[in-house]
């Protein structure tokens, strides 16, 4: 956002522009969330027809964001909403309220609008706090306390906090104060109350319960549940397979697969094929980790000795192979033969990428060469979970090209970020094919700062490409999920 925070000077102007922006957004037929880049482009498009608004770009971006999310917020019950107000709405020098870790403790003296707005929110059944910044809001959303936020803040603060709402795909309305500074500020109180009162019971917004999905996935990887899908532990190889599958791990791929299925179907009771595919994809992931540890001669993973460290390389390879067999065996029991093809294609691509990495010293280490390794080794790990979840729905085949583009950009951005993190830690010339080594090879005269700058540029470029790939997605909960996945992986 620009540093020139220009806000329409009168209530009449603000409400006139809000009405015009609502019509403008409805014409765009946008599905939330939208990225900061999209908001910038939309504001510029609006300005092209309203040249007197050229200095109001940041305010327009916030208001466009509100109009995109407004129908969703209206479909969220009052009790799942949070009103967030800034302390500067109180009367400076007169306010006797204290601040604790939860925010301002209002004495309800009646000198400002804070208690009236809080009363309005709470009468409707919602929550309210007076605090600075949106970090607390993200925590409340992630902890499933609330689903939506209506936040009031100055544009100065929104410049820092607003991107958090956008990147985390939080259903919310951000209402800018009418003046800057940290004392005795004002807001369009009637407009805030109007936004608080929005309710469309006929268009209830069904939001994914990520915590419930994760709990279900974790149950699938209990020893008891695994023994129902995998072969029993009648020998040492199978015992270690079960130990490895039920042990440490974030279960990121099974979660993503299951969440994609729920986001697209709107159902919460997951069928057996989703269960099978989720366990199978983790079998392949765990097998790849065991094989990676052997190839890289790693001695620890998850803070514990690796299989190769405990039992030797040959036995570790055997356990990894057994897990691959288990994955194919589980998928073969499903009613969807496409699942086998998807996992087999991903398996082959991963092996090709790993092979290129192992033979890296036989080829010139160019950026194109390294990017190709990323596409084959890292991208399938993201793509296969999305495609398996998509396939389990039995529908939505038209989304495959979009999800493929998203996965490719995300996988490359993830590896570039990993190389950038290593670079910052002065490990830039480790004996592996990295983007750092490629840039050093192609540009021997570059300084460390030049390499770091280019790495950051490339990471940001592919990060944005991942979000851009979702622009045409009309399934809101899938789009929200992937925005949040992108933020967790790259944020």
Same domain, yes or no, for 393 and 260? no
Mean pLDDT along residues 139-143: 80
Residue 4 is predicted with a pLDDT of 59
CA-to-CA distance for 284 and 324, rounded, in angstroms? 6
Tell me what the mean pLDDT of segment 180-192 comes to. Answer: 82
Q: How many CB atoms lie within 10 A of CB 359?
A: 10
* 329 and 377, same domain (yes or no): no
pLDDT (0 to 100) of residue 370: 93
Domain end marker among 317, 335, 353 = 335
Nearest alpha carbon to residue 421 among 459, 380, 376, 447: 459
- Residue 263's CB is within 10 A of a number of other CB atoms, namely 22
Q: Is 329 inside any structural domain?
A: yes
Statement to judge: residues 324 and 382 lie in one domain? no
Last residue in a domain, options 203, 219, 242: 203
**pTM to 2 decimal places:** 0.90
152 pairs with which residues across the strands? 175
**Residues 193 and 70 grouped into a single domain:** yes
Instruction: Tell me whether residue 424 is in a domain.
Output: yes
CA distances for 60 relative to 46, 174, 181, angstroms: 9, 11, 20
- pLDDT bin (cut points 50, 70, 90) of residue 94 is low
Shared domain check, 185 and 69: yes
- Please give the average per-residue pLDDT across 270-278, as a whole number: 95
Q: Output the pLDDT for position 213.
A: 94
Residue 347 belongs to some domain of the structure: no
- Strands 148-153, 81-85: pairing is parallel
Distance CA 261, CA 477 (A): 11
Instruction: Kindly state the tokens that stand for 196.
Output: 């608080």
Distance CA 147, CA 172 (A): 9
184 in the same domain as 50: yes
- Asked if residue 344 is part of any domain, the answer here is no
Among candidate residues 352, 338, 357, the one with its CA nearest the CA of residue 434: 357
Mean pLDDT of all residues in the chain?
A: 89
For residue 115, name the pLDDT band (cuts at 50, 70, 90): confident
pLDDT digits (tens, 9 = 90+) for 372-394: 999 998 899 889 999 999 999 99
Residue 3 lies in a domain: no
Pair type for strands 98-100 and 103-105: antiparallel
Average pLDDT on 49-59 reads 93
- Name the residue range of residue 282's domain: 209-335
Q: Say whether both 284 and 216 belong to one domain.
A: yes
Q: Give the separation between CA 58 and CA 24, rounded to whole angstroms.
A: 17
Residue 388 and residue 343 in contact, taking contact as beta carbons nearer than 8 Å: yes
Kindly report the number of other CB atoms within 10 A of residue 127's CB atom: 18
Q: Are strands 98-100 and 172-176 parallel, antiparallel or unpaired?
A: unpaired
Query: How confident is the model over 307-322, as pLDDT tens digits?
Result: 999 999 999 999 999 9
The verdict on residue 345 lying in a domain is no
189 plus 291 within the same structural domain: no
Number of domains present in the structure of the chain: 3
Question: Can you say how many angstroms the Cα of residue 24 is from the centroid of all Cα atoms in its chain?
Answer: 27
Beta-carbon contacts of residue 319 (< 8 Å; ≥ 6 apart): 237, 240, 241, 244, 290, 307, 311
**Are 174 and 243 members of one domain?**
no
Residue 191 Cα distances to 174, 225, 366, angstroms: 12, 52, 56
CATH code, domain with 374: 1.10.600.10
The answer to whether position 155 is within a domain reads yes
**Measured at the alpha carbon of residue 407, what is the angle toward residues 404 and 409, in degrees to the nearest 5?**
110
Nearest one of 344, 161, 325, 172 to 241, comparing CA atoms: 325
Alpha helices (H) along 168-209: 189-197
Residue 1 confidence (pLDDT): 41
3-state helix, strand, coil in the chain (%, to 5): 65, 5, 30
Same domain, 57 and 77: yes
Same domain, 173 and 312: no
**H helices of 297-378, where?**
307-311, 313-332, 338-358, 367-377
Looking at the fold, whether 218 and 151 belong to one and the same domain comes out as no
Phi and psi at residue 304, to the nearest 5°: -130, 160
* Domain C-terminal end among 203, 218, 246: 203
Check residue 31 and give its pLDDT.
94
* Structural domain contains residue 430: yes
Angle at CA 202, nearest 5°, toward 197 and 204?
A: 75
């Amino acid at each position: 956002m620009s540093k020139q925070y220009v806000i329409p000077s009168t209530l009449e102007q603000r409400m006139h522009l809000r009405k015009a922006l609502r019509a403008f957004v409805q014409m765009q037929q946008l599905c939330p969330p939208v990225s900061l880049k999209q908001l910038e482009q939309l504001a510029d498009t609006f300005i092209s027809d309203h040249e007197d608004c050229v200095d109001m770009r940041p305010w327009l971006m916030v208001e466009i964001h509100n109009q995109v999310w407004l129908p969703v917020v209206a479909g969220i019950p009052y009790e799942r909403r949070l009103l967030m107000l800034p302390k500067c709405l109180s009367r400076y020098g007169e306010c006797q309220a204290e601040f604790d870790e939860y925010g301002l403790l209002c004495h309800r003296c009646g000198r400002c609008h804070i208690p009236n707005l809080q009363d309005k929110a709470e009468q409707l059944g919602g929550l309210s706090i007076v605090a600075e910044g949106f970090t607390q809001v993200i925590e409340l959303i992630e902890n499933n306390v609330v689903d939506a936020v209506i936040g009031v803040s100055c544009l100065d603060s929104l410049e820092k906090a607003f991107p958090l709402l956008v990147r985390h795909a939080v259903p919310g309305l951000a209402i800018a104060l009418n003046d800057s500074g940290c004392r005795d500020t004002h807001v369009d109180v009637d407009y805030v109350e109007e936004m608080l009162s929005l309710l469309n019971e006929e268009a209830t917004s069904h939001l994914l319960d990520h915590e419930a999905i994760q709990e279900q996935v974790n149950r699938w990887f209990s020893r008891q549940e695994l023994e129902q899908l995998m072969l029993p532990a009648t020998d040492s190889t199978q015992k270690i397979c079960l130990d490895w599958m039920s042990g440490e791990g974030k279960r990121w791929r099974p979660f993503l697969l299951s969440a994609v299925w729920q986001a697209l179907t709107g159902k919460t009771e997951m069928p057996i094929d989703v269960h099978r595919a989720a366990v199978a994809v983790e079998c392949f992931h765990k097998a790849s980790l065991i094989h990676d540890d052997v190839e890289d001669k790693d001695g620890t993973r998850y803070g514990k000795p690796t299989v190769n460290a405990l039992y030797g390389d040959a036995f570790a390879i055997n356990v990894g192979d057994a897990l691959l067999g288990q994955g194919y065996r589980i998928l073969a029991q499903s009613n969807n033969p496409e699942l086998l093809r998807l996992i087999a294609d991903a398996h082959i691509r991963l092996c090709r990428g790993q092979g290129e990495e192992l033979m890296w010293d036989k080829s010139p280490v160019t950026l194109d060469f390294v990017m190709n390794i990323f596409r084959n080794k890292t991208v399938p790990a993201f793509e296969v979970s999305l495609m398996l979840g998509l396939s389990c729905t039995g529908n939505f085949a038209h989304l495959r090209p979009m999800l493929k583009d998203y996965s490719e950009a995300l996988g490359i951005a993830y590896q570039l970020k990993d190389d950038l993190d290593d670079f910052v830690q002065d490990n830039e010339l480790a004996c592996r094919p990295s983007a750092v080594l490629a840039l050093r090879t192609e540009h021997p005269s570059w300084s460390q700062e030049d390499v770091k700058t280019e790495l950051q540029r490339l990471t940001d470029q592919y990060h944005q490409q991942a979000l851009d790939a979702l622009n045409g997605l009309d399934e809101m909960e899938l789009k929200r999920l992937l925005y949040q996945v992108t933020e967790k992986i790259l944020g």
